[in-house]
């Protein structure tokens, strides 16, 4: 039995199938962890969602910002706006509602106690332990799955508030949690979210730092798997695995085996998508 974490697919179905062939993936005994952003930009978002949904319990996926944007479009929570042809094909499909219903019930964070490993799409706030991260994620999941999810999908856009407080309430609180788990890259030295820089961290201003190097990070004793940051690329350390290696930009699609003492890295060539429309809300 093998457990693999796989980076952002973003509609690149063909590289995904090549990667799984390379892994000799067996859904009867192996498990795939997908870090989110299954859709958008690439040419086959519909095929990706159909395939991963069809894997059933062999696939665990957390929601990414592009996945949430798809849900907002399908629920008419936002006005159409610009989005990739890949998403339009998905939205026009006869099973779009069924696929989005399945996607809406995916978690924002996943933790495996046996592997002492947590998976999120982008990151987790430096002051949140694993327990707190899972509890914060559950707040959003509850609203997405049982509450008036259309209002949440409308209210989730925006960069504020930038600092965490347990006193935050309502959609401001939920927006902050979503931004942490699905959009965060850089923070300030006093743990405020900052979305002004999305390039490589070594090119950022001196007062900004990557979320995972914050002093006293509460998840430092737990291995955290994440994607979202193609300019960061592959990182494999005992407590951190970054797996967004820019498949959709023609680089690689990456899998990292998690259930071995020394993680194994497997990569296939990505799929360069040169014509796409990037909505400013999809950061």
- Between CA 70 and CA 111, with CA 23 as vertex, the angle to 5 degrees is 55
Q: Is the pLDDT of residue 81 over 70?
A: no
By residue count, the chain amounts to 283
Q: Which two tokens stand for residue 58?
A: 């062999």
User: Is the pTM value of this prediction over 0.85?
Assistant: yes
Domains of the chain: 3-282 (3.60.21.10)
Q: Is the pLDDT of residue 283 over 70?
A: no
- At residue 32, φ and ψ (nearest 5 deg) are -110, 130
What pLDDT shows up at residue 188?
95
Q: Is the pLDDT of residue 277 over 50?
A: no
Q: What share of the chain is helix, strand, coil (3-state, %, to 5)?
A: 35, 15, 50
Name, in order, each residue with C-beta under 8 angstroms of 115's C-beta and a sequence gap of 6 or more: 3, 223, 258, 259
Name, in order, each residue with C-beta under 8 angstroms of 14's C-beta and a sequence gap of 6 or more: 44, 271
Name, in order, each residue with C-beta under 8 angstroms of 180's C-beta and a sequence gap of 6 or more: 122, 123, 124, 125, 128, 136, 164, 193
Q: Is the pLDDT of residue 186 over 90?
A: yes
What pLDDT shows up at residue 271?
84
What pLDDT shows up at residue 206?
85
Q: Is the pLDDT of residue 218 over 70?
A: yes
What pLDDT shows up at residue 86?
78
Judge residue 45's burial from the number of C-beta atoms within 10 Å of its C-beta, 0-12 exposed, 13-18 middle, 19 or more buried.
buried
What torsion do the CA atoms of 77, 162, 82, 91 make, to the nearest 10 degrees? -40
> What angle in degrees, to the nearest 10, is found between the helix axes of 130-146 and 170-182?
120
User: 253 with 15: CB under 8 angstroms?
Assistant: yes
Mean pLDDT of the chain: 93
Q: Is the pLDDT of residue 281 over 70?
A: no
pLDDT tens-digit series, residues 82-114? 566 779 999 999 999 999 999 999 999 999 999
pLDDT tens-digit series, residues 118-165? 999 999 999 999 999 999 999 999 999 987 899 999 999 999 999 999
């Amino acid at each position: 039995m093998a457990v693999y974490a796989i980076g952002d697919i973003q509609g690149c179905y063909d590289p995904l199938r090549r990667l799984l062939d390379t892994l000799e993936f067996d859904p009867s005994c192996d498990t795939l962890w997908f870090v989110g952003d299954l859709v958008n930009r690439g040419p086959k978002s519909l095929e990706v969602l159909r395939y991963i949904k069809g894997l059933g319990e062999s696939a665990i996926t957390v929601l990414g910002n592009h996945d949430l944007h798809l849900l907002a479009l399908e629920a008419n929570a936002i006005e159409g706006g610009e989005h990739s042809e890949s998403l339009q094909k998905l939205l026009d499909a006869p099973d779009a509602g069924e696929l989005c219903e399945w996607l809406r019930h995916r978690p924002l964070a996943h933790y495996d106690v046996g592997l002492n490993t947590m998976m999120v799409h982008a990151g987790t706030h430096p002051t949140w332990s694993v327990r707190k991260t899972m509890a914060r994620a559950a707040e959003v999941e509850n609203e997405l799955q049982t509450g008036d999810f259309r209002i949440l999908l409308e209210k989730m856009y925006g960069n504020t508030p930038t600092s965490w407080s347990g006193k935050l309430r309502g959609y401001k609180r939920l927006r902050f949690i979503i931004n942490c788990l699905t959009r965060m890259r850089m923070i300030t030295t006093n743990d405020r979210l900052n979305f002004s820089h999305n390039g490589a961290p070594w090119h950022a201003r001196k007062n900004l730092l990557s979320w995972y190097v914050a002093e006293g990070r509460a998840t430092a004793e737990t291995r955290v798997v994440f994607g979202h940051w193609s300019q960061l690329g592959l990182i494999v350390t005992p407590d951190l695995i970054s797996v967004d290696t820019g498949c959709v930009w023609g680089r690689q699609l990456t899998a990292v085996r998690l259930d071995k003492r020394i993680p194994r890295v497997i990569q296939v060539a990505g799929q360069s998508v040169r014509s796409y429309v990037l909505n400013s809300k999809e950061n």
